[in-house]
Structure 1
Amino acid sequence: MKRKQWPGWGPGEQAQQHYLIQPRALAGGGDVRHVSEFLRASGWRDKSKAGGPLSMESPDRTVRIAYDPFVLPGGWTIHGAATGHQDEWWAVLGRQTPVEIVAGLTDALTRPRSAHAPNVWAPLKEQAWHTPPNAGHVTATSPDGSAWMQYHQSPDGEAMWWSGAKDEQGNGWTAQFAPSTPMHLVQSFSAALASPEPVMRPLGRVPHSTRIQTTSVSVLPSQLSAWQQARITAARAATWARNTARSALPRTTERPHAHAGGARARR
C-alpha cells in the first residue's frame, strides 16, 4: 500500500485518512450525497421522507430516482415516464454500485442530449476492454476481468443491457437497464464504469479485496469540502445557463389576451 501526503495543508486542521481505490468498480457504494446533492443543485426535487430512503424527482416530473438501503437486495431504482417518442424506461443498480458510476447515469439526466448518436461500446474500447470470442452474448470485460458490460437480445428482438463487477470472493454489484432505456444514458454509465480514474473512500470504508489497489492519502476537511462544493457549483452554473438560454428564446405562442380587444387599458 502506497502512502501519499496531500499538499496545501492549512493551519488548525487535522488531516483525515482516505484511500484512492482502483479499479473504481470495486470501491464499494460510497456516499449517496455525491449523487443527490448534484441533482438537488440541478433543480431536482427531494421527495424523501424523514428517516426514509432517498427519493428525487426531475424538474419536469418525468424521472424519479430512489435509493433504498433498508431492504434486500436494496440499491438504486431509476424510472422514466413515457414522454413523446420515448417509451417508459427503468434502470436498477445494486447497493454496492460506486456512487461515481451511478452519477455517470444520473448526471446525464440533467444535461441536454448530444446530437451525436450514442455508442455504449466506445468508452470501453478506449480503455482496452476486450470482448471474449464465441460468447453467447456480446460482452465487454475490463482488462483485469473484474467488471463487465453485456448486451443481450432476446428471441423476440428486445435488447437488454446488463453490467456489474465482482471481486475474488464474489462480492460486488450488478446493474440492469430496460430495453427502452435511452442509449445516451447507458453510454454515460459505461463511460463512468470504464474510467481509469480512482475514487476516494475514507478509512474504514475500503473493501477487503486483493483485486483493488489502494493509495493512502491524508486529506484536510476543508479540501474535501471544497472538492464536493466544486461539483455542486458546476451543477448550479449549468442549470442557470440552461434556464437563462431557455428564457431568452422568442415566444412561439401568443398570449391569450393578444387579440382580446387590442391593447389592454391600464388602471
Structure 2
Amino acid sequence: MNKRQQWAGWGPHEQAEQHYLIEPRHLAGGGDLRHVTKYLRASGWSDRSKSGGPLAFDSPDRTIRVGYDPFIQPGGWMIRAEAANGQPAWHVTLGRQTPVEIVAGFTDALTQPRTAHAPNAWAPLQQNGWQTKQGHHPTATSPDSSSWMQFHQTAPDEAFWWAGARTEHGMTWQAHFAPTTPIHLVQAFSAALADPQPVMRPRGNVPPSNRIRSTSVSVLPSQLSAWQQTRINAARAATWARNTWATNRPRNHTASPYAAAGSTRARR
C-alpha cells in the first residue's frame, strides 16, 4: 500500500464526526480521562498505573498521587498529598462523573507554581453569576441551581469544602476536600467548575437530562488531535521552563518547583 492510499480518509479527505457542546459543563458527564492524565504525563508525572487496573500518577517528587479507580464503589478520583514543610497531609475525592475538565482544573494546578495572590475560592463563582448564601454553611449555587459549592463546618476546627451537581434524575457527582486542602487548589477547582464555556462530548456520550443544553457540531479528527496536542505542548513548555529555572537558580533557593501543591508546598 503506497503512502497516498495508506492515509486516504485523512487530511483534506477525512470525515467529520458529530460531537456536542454541552452546557452547563458540570452536567456533561465524566468525559475522556486522558484530558487529565496526558497533561500530568507531559508535566513530568510518573504513570504508576497497572494494566487493566486503576490509574495512578505520582508527582516528580513522589509526594502527591492522583488516582482514578472505577472498580470500587462509589469510585472516581482520589488525590492524596503527604505532609511536608509544615503543610499537613490532605486528600480530595471526586466522583467518577465529575467532568474531566473540572477535575483538570484541580490537577493542572498541582503542576504549576503558586501565585503570590491570596486565594479566594468564592471569587470565581461570584464572578460567573453563582448565588452565594451566608450562614453556618456558606454556599454558592450555579445560575441554573443544578450545582453547588459549600464550606461545610461541623465544629470550630472541623470544616471542609463540598461540591456537586444533580439533575432531575438525582445526584450526578460529588467532590470532597479535606480541611487541610490548600485553598489555592480549591480555588482552581471552583474556577473550572464555574467556567461558563461549554465542554465537548462525542455522539452517544451526552447524559440524558432536560437541564442540559447541547449544540451539535461537526469536528474533524485532525482538529481534535490538534486541540489535545496544544494542551500537551503547553504542559511540556511549562515543565521545561520550571526545570530550566530550577537548574539555573541560586543555590540558596531550595524550594521545589512543585511548591504549588501546598500552602508553601502541597503534599499527599
Q: TM-score, normalised by structure 2?
A: 0.89
Displacement after TM superposition at 1:10 (Å)? 4.9
What do the CA deviations read for 1:214-236 (whole angstroms, capped 9, x no partner)? 00000000000000000000000
Alignment partners' CA distance in 2, 1:82 and 1:172: 32
Displacement after TM superposition at 1:71 (Å)? 1.5
Alignment partners' CA distance in 2, 1:136 and 1:204: 42
Displacement after TM superposition at 1:72 (Å)? 1.4
Is 2:44–2:60's contact at 8 Å kept on the other side of the alignment? Answer: yes
Structure 1 equivalent of residue 196 of structure 2: 196
Alignment partners' CA distance in 1, 2:250 and 2:102: 38
Alignment partners' CA distance in 1, 2:219 and 2:241: 32
Alignment partners' CA distance in 1, 2:156 and 2:215: 48
Structure 2 equivalent of residue 19 of structure 1: 20
Is 2:56–2:65's contact at 8 Å kept on the other side of the alignment? Answer: yes
Query: Does 2:134 correspond to 1:137?
Result: no
What do the CA deviations read for 1:10-38 (whole angstroms, capped 9, x no partner)? 52101101000000000000000000000
What do the CA deviations read for 1:78-122 (whole angstroms, capped 9, x no partner)? 000001021000000000000000000000000011111100000
Where does structure 2 lack aligned partners over 5 or more consecutive residues?
A: 1-9, 254-268
Structure 2 equivalent of residue 258 of structure 1: none
Amino acid at match of 1:82: A
Identity of aligned residues (%): 67
Task: Please give the secondary structure, in 1, of the residue aligned with 2:88.
Answer: coil
Displacement after TM superposition at 1:136 (Å)? 4.5
Alignment partners' CA distance in 1, 2:11 and 2:59: 39
Task: Please give the secondary structure, in 1, of the residue aligned with 2:93.
Answer: strand
RMSD after superposition: 1.4
Alignment partners' CA distance in 2, 1:250 and 1:113: 19
The 5 A counterparts of 1:1-267 are 10-132=11-133, 136-252=136-252
Displacement after TM superposition at 1:247 (Å)? 0.7
Task: Please give the secondary structure, in 2, of the residue aligned with 1:153.
Answer: strand
Consecutive aligned runs of 4 or more in structure 1 exceeding 4 Å deviation: none
Amino acid at match of 2:48: K
Q: TM-score, normalised by structure 1?
A: 0.89
Displacement after TM superposition at 1:157 (Å)? 2.0
Structure 2 equivalent of residue 4 of structure 1: none
Displacement after TM superposition at 1:171 (Å)? 4.0
